[in-house]
Amino acid sequence: MSTSIHQEVTINAKPADVYQAFMDEARHSAITGGKSSISNEIGGRADMHDGQIMAQNIELTPNQKIVQAWRVTTWEDGLYTLLRIGLAPDGDGTRITLDQTGCPEDMTEHLAGGWEARYWQPMKAYFEQR
């Protein structure tokens, strides 16, 4: 059985900067602390967190939306979640809406905590320093 994750967070940065935090290799690596290789093309691949996470881009709307088939590389072959990240201006910042569906039930809590610890907290700190 699979489950879903829904999270919303506001980051003190413009949508274009937040989009690049996800899609620019150097910025993604600086924020997450892990090596990243990220394609900005539909159908392109992203390898993140020193190869622990792999994704394939399904839909990219710069500064607004990222949709990927997303997986932890230790999962059984062919097992992917569908990750949707929406970005919207919110005052001087950006409201991020994350929806991840098809999560293995035994991994949902771990994945949800990972977004907070490996993305939202470091991203907030990164943009506060700018």
Q: Is 73 helix (H, G, I), strand (E, B) or coil?
A: coil
Confidence of residue 109 (pLDDT cuts 50, 70, 90): very high
Asked if pLDDT for residue 130 goes beyond 90, the answer is: no
16 neighbors 127 (Cβ within 8 angstroms): no
Could you say which DSSP state residue 50 is in? T
Q: State the chain's maximal CA–CA distance in angstroms.
A: 42
Overall pTM > 0.85: yes
pLDDT above 90: residue 99: yes
Task: Work out the number of other CB atoms within 10 angstroms of the CB of residue 130.
Answer: 7
Q: Is 19 exposed, middle or buried (0-12, 13-18, 19+ CB in 10 A)?
A: buried
Cβ atoms of residues 103 and 3 within 8 Å: yes
Q: Structural domains in the chain?
A: 2-128 (3.30.530.20)
pLDDT in tens, 55-77: 999 999 999 999 999 999 999 99
What is the rounded distance in angstroms from the CA atom of residue 87 to the CA atom of residue 91? 13
